[in-house]
A = this chain, B = another copy of it.
């Protein structure tokens, strides 16, 4: 946890915060914060601020927050479209993409997505937000990414993807492509990543039809969470 994220309802006064949950636990048990100690705090969807630990009684931490505003780190200019994965893997992808600065994530259905994954409790608003917060806390960011779930591939690609990719370089990760994933792209990027078994030829063709270029990370197959990190790292 490289930043303590605060909501307006954590405030008990104009500048005084009182928290009791895993953030308090972290401040007490990991940071071993004492009264007077500086803490990096951030307003969810707002700026980064300096906090001063006032007290750590039992499970409650009180913080005085100053008004000096520091901008959060800039976002990554990438929209990530990712097929639904095994929930454990999906969590890692959401956390790591968020930590890297992605602000728009679409989780989509594709032919090879295991149907049972869609019943995962991860896909509730609350649980997704938990993963986003973990990613923000890791990277010292405050701006919540937006996750959109799209359960029908064809209408998503035909009706929505053209608008999403407009003005950006559109790419789709495809091991069979002969074009290597490019490096250090200037400007906006949209990148699509398939499920464990990859996209089908039909799906690749549908996305190519609206301008996404199939690119490969090489002949080595990486686990999805590392493939997403590798793609984002190469592209930016």
Interface residues of A, Cβ cutoff 8 Å to B:
2, 73, 96, 99-101, 138-141, 183-184, 217-223, 225-226, 229-234
> Which of B99, B183, B225, B229 lies in contact with A220, CB distance below 8 A?
B99
Please, how many angstroms separate the alpha-carbon atoms of A229 and B220 in the complex? 13
Knowing A226-B99, A229-B226, A229-B230, say if A141 contacts B220 (CB, 8 Å). yes
Closest to A99 in B: B222
A219–B73 touching, CB < 8 Å:
yes
CB-defined contacts of A2 to chain B, threshold 8 Å:
221
Known: A100-B220, A183-B183. 10 other contacts (CB 8 A): A73-B220, A96-B223, A100-B222, A138-B221, A139-B221, A183-B184, A225-B226, A230-B230, A230-B232, A233-B233
Please, how many angstroms separate the alpha-carbon atoms of A163 and B233 in the complex? 29
Please, how many angstroms separate the alpha-carbon atoms of A101 and B233 in the complex? 17
CB-defined contacts of A229 to chain B, threshold 8 Å:
226, 229-230, 233
CB-defined contacts of A234 to chain B, threshold 8 Å:
183, 233-234
Please, how many angstroms separate the alpha-carbon atoms of A4 and B225 in the complex? 22
Least Cβ distance of A93 to chain B in Å?
Answer: 10
A221–B140 touching, CB < 8 Å:
yes
CB-defined contacts of A100 to chain B, threshold 8 Å:
220, 222, 226, 230
A96–B226 touching, CB < 8 Å:
yes
Least Cβ distance of A234 to chain B in Å?
Answer: 5
CB-defined contacts of A231 to chain B, threshold 8 Å:
233
